Amino acid sequence: MEPAARTSDLALAVSDLVKTYGSTKALDGVSLGVRRGEFVALLGPNGAGKSTLFQLLSGLFTPDGGSIEVAGHDIRKNAVPALSSLGIVFQSPTLDQELSILANLRFHTDLHGMPRGIANARIAAELGAVGLVERQHDPVRTLSGGNKRRVELARALLHEPSILLMDEPTVGLDPRSRREILTHVLMLKRERKIAVLWATHLVEEAEESDRVVVMARGKVLRSGTSADLRREMGTETLSEAFLELTRGDASEAA
């Protein structure tokens, strides 16, 4: 975690997180923070521990050690307010393919106990923002990969979370769709002051972040701006700095 960050500034605070599977330590003392209105790229090769970290942040699994606070709420002691402060887009698709876009989004607002009038207004606003109002009655299975991601992003924002967790959100998308998703999230960060933790193995996505956290072998290796990392590693590009930091890790399994 950045030492200069005050607790009140942080939408997400992770401290000394540990997770072990058998003899494998998937996370080994991971600490990081994301300030309100900050876009942090979690950059690491396959097998770095990014997905394990996201599973713990989203409450799917419990860490063996360390702490997670979301919007000031400890996820172990106050799980409901902590998890309700999260908006999540997982790497694997999580939409019901047979339901319409609208039905998928209404299911989400119902889970959050949102009054129908407020739910309808937010659904209309988020679908408008991603350009899918006219397709709201279409079954999800008829959508392209990029549009499915847009629906998942719209869904993640309906309950007005403090932080967006984006777990490799552009995997499998064409370059144009990847660009559009990233541009939209950057706009959300600027205009809504929402915090973003964006996991990726693509250096070009990390280059547009406010700060880069480089992970490998279940550990945080470096944290700083792209310029900071280039300077520390003595390289001209972030890609070169990343390759130098993670030398020998790129071929590890996810």
Angle (CA) 40-207-51 rounded to 5° is 50
* Dist CA 251 CA 24 (whole Å): 17
**Contacts of 25 by beta carbon, 8 Å cutoff, 6+ apart:** 18, 19, 218
Q: Please name every residue paired with 21 in a beta bridge, in sequence order, or none if there are none.
A: 24
Size of the chain in residues: 254
Amino acid 249: pLDDT:
63
Residue 175's pLDDT band, with cuts at 50, 70 and 90, is: very high
Q: Is the pLDDT of residue 254 over 80?
A: no
Residue 93 has a pLDDT of 86
Q: Is the dihedral of CA 140, 159, 184, 218 positive or negative?
A: negative
Q: Give the CATH fold of the 1-85+161-254 domain.
A: Rossmann fold (3.40.50)
Task: Give per-residue pLDDT as tens, 96-140.
Answer: 999 999 999 999 999 999 999 999 999 999 999 999 999 999 999
How far apart (Å, rounded) are the C-alpha atoms in residues 187 and 208?
12
User: So what's the pLDDT on residue 137?
Assistant: 98
Would you place residue 248 in the very low, low, confident or very high pLDDT band (cuts 50, 70, 90)? low
Whole-angstrom distance, CA of residue 199 vs CA of residue 57: 12
How far, in whole angstroms, is CA 36 from its chain's centroid? 14
Q: Which pLDDT does position 1 carry in this prediction?
A: 44
What is the rounded CA–CA span in Å between residue 111 and residue 40? 28
Q: Dihedral (C-alpha) 141, 197, 62, 30: value to the nearest 10 degrees?
A: 140
pLDDT of residue 253 exceeding 80, the answer is no
Query: pLDDT tens digits for 46-85?
Result: 889 999 999 999 999 999 999 999 999 999 999 999 999 9
How many whole angstroms separate alpha carbon 140 and alpha carbon 102?
Answer: 9
What percentage of the chain exceeds 70 in pLDDT? 94
How far, in Å, CA of 124 to CA of 178, rounded? 23
Q: Are 132 and 105 in contact (CB under 8 A)?
A: no
- 1-30 pLDDT per residue, tens: 444 445 568 999 999 999 999 989 999 999
Query: What is the pLDDT, as a whole number, of residue 9?
Result: 85
pLDDT at position 21 is 92
Please give the pLDDT value at position 46: 86
pLDDT for 158 beyond 60: yes
| Domain regions of the chain by residue span | 1-85+161-254, 95-159
* Averaged confidence pLDDT in the chain: 92
Rounded mean pLDDT, 220-237? 96
At 220, list the tokens.
């945080």
pLDDT at position 206 over 50: yes
